[in-house]
Chains A and B, each alone.
Chain A
Amino acid sequence: MNMNLAPNTHSPAAIVAKQLVPVQSNNNIQSGLSLQTAKGEIICFMGIDRKVLDQYIRTLAGIHPIESGTLEIFQQPVEEIPAKAWSSIRTKLAYISRDAPLLSVLNGLNNVIFPALYHGTLERHAAIKKALAIFTELEYSGNNLDLPAFMEPIDKVQLAIARAIMLDPTVLLLDDPWYSLDPHDYSKLNDFFYQWVKNGTIIMTTSNISFVRKYATKIYFIGHQEIFEFSSWPTMCHSEVEEVRHYLRQYSESS
C-alpha cells in the first residue's frame, strides 16, 4: 500500500541541490545529489554507509560544508546567506539530529516552549497551550515535567520534534528519527509525519523500510559510487542496480 501525498509543485522549492557532494563524503562518488523539494513530499535517504547519509542530511541543513555542486535554501545560494539570516532560516528549516539532544537542565515542557519564547513568537501562556496541542498530535504519553535524563527514548524524540514544530517550520530534516526506538514505538512517529507533511516537506535519512514503503514520495539511495533516485518504493524494488538489490536482500533477510 502506498499512501503517497500529491506534492505541491506551485510554491517555490525550499531546497534545491544540484550535483551536491559534501566534504569528506565518499570520495568515489561520481555524481552528486540533485534534488528539488516540494510541499507535501517525504524524501527518504537510504544507503549502507551511515556516515555518508549523515553528511548529506547535514549538508542540506546548511551545517556541513560542500565539496562540489550547488545548494539553495529558500531561493538563496547557501554560501551567500549572511550569518545573521541563519537565525530566521533555522526557524523554517528544522534539523533534528539522531541523538535528538534536549537541554538537560530544562524539563520536557520548558524544552519545547523556550525556542518560541526566545524568538518572541509566543508569550509563555500561548506557548504552553500550543505545546500541549502538539503533544496531543504526537500522542506524547511521557511526563513533560521530567528532565531529559529520566525520559524514555521515544519521549526525547517526540519532544525534539515538538520543539522544532513549535516554530512552524516548512521543512523538517531528520536524521533517522527511529534510530533509538523500539519497533513498537515506530507507528507513533509514522502517523505524525504523515499528518504533518500536508503542511510542509520532510527529508530524512532512515532504514525504516516500513515507513519508506508506505509514505516516501521520493527515495535517494546513496551508493558507493552513485546516487540513485526512485519515485516510489516499488520502483526501488524493481531496480537492477546491484548495490540496491544487495541492500534490499539484506533487508528481506533481516525481516
Chain B
Amino acid sequence: MLQRILNAPGLIGRQTLRPPKYLFELLLFTLRALNPRQQGQIRLNQASYRTLLGQLIFSGVDALPVIFLLALASGLAITTQIILTIQLIGDRAEVIDILIRVVIFELSTLLTAILLIGRSGSAITVDIGNMKLNRELEGLEMLGINLNHFLITPRVLGTGLAQAVLAIFFAVVALASGIVVLAYTQNAGYLSYLPEVAFSLHPYDLLLFLVKNLLFGVIIGSTACFHALRVSQSRTELPQQTQQAIVNSLTIVFVLNALFIVFMQPSLL
C-alpha cells in the first residue's frame, strides 16, 4: 500500500508527460516522412510514385462521390439556413462574410477531415499494420527499400493533397448547392451570391485555407502511419492502434483548427 502511494507522483508525472511525448514523436515522424533527403538520397521514384498515385486515387478520387453527397446535404441544410437567417438580421455583406467563415473555411475543412480520417486514415493503419504483422515490411527492408520512401512519404503526401482538393470541392458544392436551391425555390436573385462570395475571398485567407488543409491531410496520413508502425506482435494491437489513430487524428485536427483561427486568422474572431 505504502509502495503504491510512493509510486503515485511518478505515475502522475508519466501520465502528464505522455501527450507531449506523443506529439513530439509524431512531429518527428512527420518531418522525417516529409524530408526529401531521407538517409542522404532522394528516392521518390517509379515505385514510390505508384504508391502516391494509388493513395491519391483511394483518398481523393474514390472519395469524390461521398464528399459530393456530404457537401450537397450540407449545402441544403446549412448554406440555405445561414442565408435565410442572417439576411433577417444583417445586410448582404454580413451574409457573405458568414458564408465564407462557416461554410468555406470551417465546414469544408472539418467535414472533409472527418471523412478522410474515417475512410483513409483507418485504412492506412490497417494496411500497414497488417504488413508489419506479416513481416512484409521486414521483407522490404531486406531488399534495401526504405520504408519511408516507399510506404510512408507517398501516403502522407497523398492524404495531404487529397484533403486539400476534397476541401475545395466540398466548399464549392456546399455553397453552390445551397444558393442554387434558394434561387430555384425562393428567388433567382440569390444566384448573385455566387460571384459575390467568390470576389469577397481574400487571397491571404485562400492561401491559409490551402495550407491548413494540406497540413491537416499530412497529419491524418502521418498519424495513421505512425500508429500502424506501432503494431508489433499481436493482431489484437491492430484495432487498438486503428482506434487510437482515429481519435488522435480527430483531436489534433480540431485543436489545430482552433489554433489556426486564434493565431492565423484573428480577423475572423
Residues of chain A touching chain B, judged by Cβ–Cβ distance below 8 Å, are 61, 63, 83-84, 86-91, 94-97, 99-105, 114-115, 117-120, 123-124, 160, 163-164, 167
A97 to B136, CA, bound (A): 10
Closest chain A residue, CB of each to CB of B150: A118
Known: A114-B47, A118-B47. A101 touches B146 (CB 8 A): no
Query: Which size class do B's interface residues fall under?
Result: 20 to 34
* A117:B143 contact, CB within 8 angstroms: no
Per-position 1/0 for B96-140, Cβ under 8 A of A: 000000000000000000000000000000010011001110111
A208 to B144, CA, bound (A): 29
Does B40 belong to the interface (CB within 8 Å)?
yes
Of A96, A103, A163, which is in contact with the most chain B CB atoms at under 10 Å from its CB? A103
Contact residues, B32-82 vs A (CB, 8 A): 39-41, 43, 45-48, 50
A212 to B84, CA, bound (A): 84
Does B142 belong to the interface (CB within 8 Å)?
yes
Describe B's contact surface by its main secondary structure. Answer: helix
A40 to chain B, nearest CB (A): 23
Of B45, B127, B144, B149, which is in contact with the most chain A CB atoms at under 10 Å from its CB? B144
- The answer, among A87, A89, A97, A167, for a CB contact under 8 Å with B139, is A97
Identify the 7 closest CB pairs spanning chains A and B, nearest first: A90-B144, A118-B47, A87-B144, A117-B46, A117-B47, A84-B39, A101-B139
A124 to B134, CA, bound (A): 27
Residues of chain B touching chain A, judged by Cβ–Cβ distance below 8 Å, are 39-41, 43, 45-48, 50, 127, 130-131, 134-136, 138-146, 149-150
Closest chain A residue, CB of each to CB of B151: A103
A104 to B45, CA, bound (A): 21
- The answer, among B40, B46, B138, B140, for a CB contact under 8 Å with A84, is B40
Closest chain B residue, CB of each to CB of A61: B142
* B143:A90 contact, CB within 8 angstroms: yes
A103 to B147, CA, bound (A): 13
Which residues on B sit within 8 Å (CB–CB) of A160?
139
* B136:A101 contact, CB within 8 angstroms: yes
Known: A91-B144, A94-B142, A114-B47. A104 touches B39 (CB 8 A): no
Not counting A61-B142, A88-B144, A115-B144, a sample of 19 additional A-B residue pairs whose C-beta atoms are within 8 angstroms of each other reads A83-B39, A90-B141, A90-B143, A90-B144, A90-B145, A94-B143, A95-B142, A97-B135, A99-B134, A101-B136, A101-B139, A103-B136, A118-B143, A118-B149, A118-B150, A119-B144, A120-B45, A120-B46, A167-B143
* A118:B145 contact, CB within 8 angstroms: yes
Closest chain B residue, CB of each to CB of A88: B144
Closest chain B residue, CB of each to CB of A113: B47
* A103:B46 contact, CB within 8 angstroms: no
Closest chain B residue, CB of each to CB of A99: B135
* B48:A118 contact, CB within 8 angstroms: yes
Closest chain A residue, CB of each to CB of B144: A90
Known: A84-B39, A87-B41, A117-B47. A97 touches B138 (CB 8 A): yes
* A102:B138 contact, CB within 8 angstroms: no
- The answer, among A61, A63, A86, A118, for a CB contact under 8 Å with B45, is A118
* B46:A124 contact, CB within 8 angstroms: yes
Known: A94-B142, A97-B138, A160-B139. A104 touches B130 (CB 8 A): yes
A93 to chain B, nearest CB (A): 9
* A104:B142 contact, CB within 8 angstroms: no
A103 to B40, CA, bound (A): 26
A40 to B142, CA, bound (A): 22
* B134:A104 contact, CB within 8 angstroms: yes
A124 to B50, CA, bound (A): 12
A84 to B41, CA, bound (A): 8
11 contacts between A and B (CB under 8 A): A84-B40, A87-B41, A87-B144, A95-B142, A97-B139, A101-B135, A101-B139, A105-B131, A118-B46, A118-B149, A164-B143
Closest chain B residue, CB of each to CB of A124: B46
B105 to chain A, nearest CB (A): 36
Which residues on A sit within 8 Å (CB–CB) of B138?
97, 101
B58 to chain A, nearest CB (A): 11
